């Protein structure tokens, strides 16, 4: 099955909520753990054990593991393995973007099933030109994996690049045009998604009907609501994967509290989708 087909099936079964497994130092301390590799391991694996059986997707942010060096990356490998074993898809938040053989090496590291870091999908940056992502696209197609490409992010610095106009189109619109071509004729949904913030002040005039999934960070703790999802995405909301990290993880380390937060979020999002 393609990633798009696996995602549709997972969302139908578990709901459209994605949990970020992001071991901020402040969260480790809040859980009563030290900000070291042992604390990282207890936090990350405890979080996955509590939430992964109840959500369609988990999204570890690689940087919070990489800061501990090779031992932190080893924990990330275990997080990926545990998430998949619990039936969740794993979307690794890496936001890589490079050219040529380096881009291919990144794609091999994260999308080739032979790699210990292989995931179902990754986030990537198109700002060296969308064509620079071709090794990621080719590798994703080869191994039925997925990509989520940065398109319209909600950080205040984003618009200076994303709303710049080239060839009569904004950069964000151009990114979505490329995704629309990649996803053409895919059934039930394409495997090439966009990252569009759940806290945007408006939809930036973008046509978000590109037959692919939309990762919407900022839902929950960062202020994004179901009303915002409806306002920003309109009819495209059916393809939105809303994601939150701290809004769930701050309730730990109690597994029941973490699982309950996931179930409530899924219920709220299902109501939005009807």
Catalytic residue numbers read: 95
d(CA 274, CA 140): 31
d(CA 77, CA 227): 36
For residues 169-208, b (16+ Cβ closer than 10 Å) or e, as one string? ebbbbbbbebbbebbeeeeebbbbbbbbbbbbeeebebeb
Residue 178 near residue 212, CB atoms below 8 Å: no
């Amino acid at each position: 099955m393609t990633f798009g087909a696996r995602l549709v099936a997972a969302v139908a079964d578990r709901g459209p909520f994605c949990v970020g497994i992001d071991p901020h130092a402040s969260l480790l301390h809040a859980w009563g753990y030290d900000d070291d590799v042992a604390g990282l391991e207890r936090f990350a694996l405890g979080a996955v054990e509590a939430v992964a059986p109840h959500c369609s997707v988990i999204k570890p942010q690689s940087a919070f593991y990489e800061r501990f060096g090779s031992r932190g990356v080893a924990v990330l490998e275990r997080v990926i393995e545990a998430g998949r074993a619990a039936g969740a898809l794993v979307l690794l938040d890496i936001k890589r973007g490079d050219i040529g053989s380096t881009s291919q090496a990144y794609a091999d590291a994260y999308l080739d099933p032979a790699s210990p870091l292989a995931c179902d999908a990754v986030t990537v940056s198109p700002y060296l030109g969308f064509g620079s992502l071709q090794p990621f696209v080719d590798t994703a197609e080869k191994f039925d994996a997925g990509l989520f490409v940065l398109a319209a992010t909600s950080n205040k610095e984003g618009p200076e690049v994303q709303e710049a106009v080239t060839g009569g189109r904004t950069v964000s619109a151009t990114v979505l045009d490329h995704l629309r071509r990649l996803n053409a004729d895919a059934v039930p949904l394409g495997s090439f998604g966009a990252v569009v913030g759940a806290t945007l002040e408006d939809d930036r005039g973008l046509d978000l009907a590109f037959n692919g999934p939309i990762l919407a960070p900022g839902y929950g703790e960062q202020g994004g609501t179901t009303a915002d999802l409806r306002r920003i995405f309109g009819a495209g909301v059916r393809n939105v994967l809303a994601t939150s990290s701290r809004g769930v993880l701050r309730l730990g380390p109690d597994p029941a509290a973490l699982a309950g937060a996931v179930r409530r979020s899924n219920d709220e999002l299902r109501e939005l989708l009807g």
